[in-house]
Structure 1
Amino acid sequence: MKFRNQTSTSEFLLLGLTEDPDLQPLIFSFFLVIYLITILGNLLIILAISSDPHLHTPMYFFLSNLSLTDICISTCTIPKMLVTIQTQDQRISYTGCFSQLCFVLVFVCLENFLLVVMAYDRYVAICHPLRYTIIMHPCLCILLVLLSLLMSIVHGLLHSLAALPLSFCTNVEIPHFFCELAQIIKLACTDTFVNAMLIYSAGDIAFGVPLIGVIFSYIKIVSCILRMPSVGGRHKAFSTCGSHLFVVSFFYGTAFGVYLSSTFSDSSTKNAVASVMYIVVPQVMNPFVYSLRNKEMKTALRHLISGQRFTCWCQGALN
Structure 2
Amino acid sequence: MSSSSFDGALPRLLIARAVEQALAEDLGTRGDVTTDSMVPAHAMAAATFGARREGVISGLAVAEAAFHAVDPRVVFKAEVHDGDRVGAGAVVARVAGPARALLTGERVALNFLCHMSGIATLTRRYVDAVAGTRARIADTRKTTPGLRAFEKYAVRCGGGVNHRSGLFDAILIKDNHIVAAGGVTAAISAARAHVGHMVKIEVEVDDLETLATALQQPIDAVLLDNMDIASLRKAVAMVAGRSLTEASGGVTLDTVRGIAEAGVDLISVGALTHSAPILDLGLDFLPQPADIAC
Q: Larger % of helix: which?
A: 1
With the length of structure 1 as denominator, give the TM-score of the two structures. 0.20
With the length of structure 2 as denominator, give the TM-score of the two structures. 0.22
Q: Which fold has the larger relative contact order, with Cα–Cα distance below 8 Å and residues 6 or more apart in sequence?
A: 1
